[in-house]
Structure formats: structure tokens, C-alpha cells
Amino acid sequence: MSDDENGAPDDQHTLGPLILLSLGAGALPEVLPPSLDGRLRRIGYIDEGQRHLFDEFSGPERERLVAFGYHVVDLDVRRGEFADDLAGVDAVYLAGGDTFALMTGLRKNGADEAIVERVRAGMPYIGLSAGALVAGPDIEPAAMMDDPGLGLDLPDFRGLGLTDTVVIPHADGQLPPYPPELIDRTLNEYGDRFTLLPLYDDQALVVDAEGSRVVPSADPE
């Protein structure tokens, strides 16, 4: 798949689609309407990457999905019945937080494999920030933005492999934890080994049967 006019790099589409967000989520209801066959679409919400966080950056994500009109179902990747829980929702949403903490939780009981299987079978995947990063082939490029120490139990830094692209969120440097210098260092350090896509906070990467494209994704006023 060649680069498109929006600058999205070569990619492999899954049946999902994939909706990868940096911060703003305005693209989400446009790509994945809250109504499905006359009922509210059930979104399985995973906040594993936020378990150690108690700040306003991670708090509003769930409430925003409810405000959009989705039926939000909390999913716990640590439950042995996670695969059965996942089977009861229409889409899966991986919230922001620490990328390494999120990947560790996903790997612990095989939640990563269950998610990949369902997405490749057609379930939409939504990921924001860390949730967008883990969708790629490798999470190592997050090492300057998050804490690799939270991934000490990981045998490697493999991502879910749903896309060949590693999204670098907050690339406009507007959030204080991720200044422009940090984004530049990340791109310089990892850009020769991975296909990186710097994603601004008002953008989303959508990967579906039509291809791979970057679209506007500011939150509604």
C-alpha cells in the first residue's frame, strides 16, 4: 500500500477497522457511528495502561465515549474470562496511559492474542495514545515518552502487530509531558528502524479496507 495524500505511511489494513487517536476523538463517531442495527454500539473499554495514573489526562476518556452515545463496557484484561467478555462487545477501545504497563497487562493472560484474533475477524479497534502505540509492531519507540521499567516482565517489546506503523502520539508537542524536543529525539532515535507516524492531538490514523489515512480528529466544541 503506497503513501496516500494525507501522508500516512505504507501499512497493512486489517478487517477492524483501526482508529488510532492521539488525544482528540472527533473522528471516532464519524468512522464508527454509536448506533448499530438500531441499538447503541457496545464498546469494550480497557484502561490497563492507567492503573498507576491518577491525573486529568487519563480520566475523561471513558466519559467521552458515553457522551458520544456508545454503550461502554469495562473490560479487565486480568480476568481469565477476558476472551468471553470481549466476545460480548462490538468494538474494543484501549485507553491511554503508559505503553509498557498496558502491553504488560495485555500479555499477562493472553488478552493480546484474544484482541488480535477478534480484530482480524472484523472487530473495530480504537486506541488512544498508548492504545494507539501498542497496535503497531513494536513499542520500543515509546521508551522516551513512557517508562520502560513498567515493562520489566515483558520478554520483548512486540506490539499487537495490527499495523506496520508505529504511531507517535502528541507529535505537535502541545502536552507538557511531551515537548517538541522529546518528539524530535524519538523520531531521530527510532526513525531508521521503524515506520513511524507522528500524529498530532487533533488527528487520527484510520486503517481499513479503503487503505490508510490521516484524518482530522479534534473534539467537538
Whether the per-residue pLDDT at 11 is higher than 60: the answer is: no
Whether the per-residue pLDDT at 55 is higher than 90: the answer is: no
pLDDT score for 172: 97
Task: Give the residue among 144, 154, 165, 193 at the shortest CA–CA distance from 20.
Answer: 165
pLDDT score for 50: 87
pLDDT score for 16: 83
pLDDT score for 14: 58
Mean pLDDT of 104-127: 96
Whether the per-residue pLDDT at 10 is higher than 70: the answer is: no
Q: What is the pTM of this model?
A: 0.92
Using CA atoms, how far residue 144 sits from 6, 26, 178, 179, 181, in Å, is 26, 27, 9, 11, 11
Q: Which of 1-5, 30-34, 178-182 has the lowest mean pLDDT?
A: 1-5
Q: What is the CA radius of gyration of the chain?
A: 16
pLDDT score for 210: 87
| Residue with the larger pLDDT of the pair 152 and 157 | 157
Task: Assign a CATH topology to domain 18-216.
Answer: Rossmann fold (3.40.50)
Task: Give the residue among 154, 112, 113 at the shortest CA–CA distance from 131.
Answer: 112
Cell 461502554, located at residue? 72
Whether the per-residue pLDDT at 3 is higher than 50: the answer is: no
The pLDDT mean for the chain works out to 91
Whether the per-residue pLDDT at 1 is higher than 70: the answer is: no
Mean pLDDT of 173-189: 97
Mean pLDDT of 160-178: 96
Using CA atoms, how far residue 153 sits from 31, 48, 97, 147, 148, in Å, is 35, 15, 17, 13, 10
Q: What are phi and psi of 113, to 5 degrees?
A: -65, -40
For residues 182 and 172, give the distance between their C-alpha atoms in angstroms, rounded to a whole number.
Answer: 11
Whether the per-residue pLDDT at 56 is higher than 50: the answer is: no
Mean pLDDT of 58-62: 76
Mean pLDDT of 95-109: 95
The CB density around residue 213, as the number of other CB atoms within 10 Å, is 16
pLDDT score for 53: 64
Mean pLDDT of 94-114: 96
Question: Hey, which residues are catalytic here?
Answer: 129, 170
Using CA atoms, how far residue 45 sits from 63, 126, 192, in Å, is 11, 9, 33
pLDDT tens column, 15-46: 789 999 999 999 999 999 999 999 999 999 99
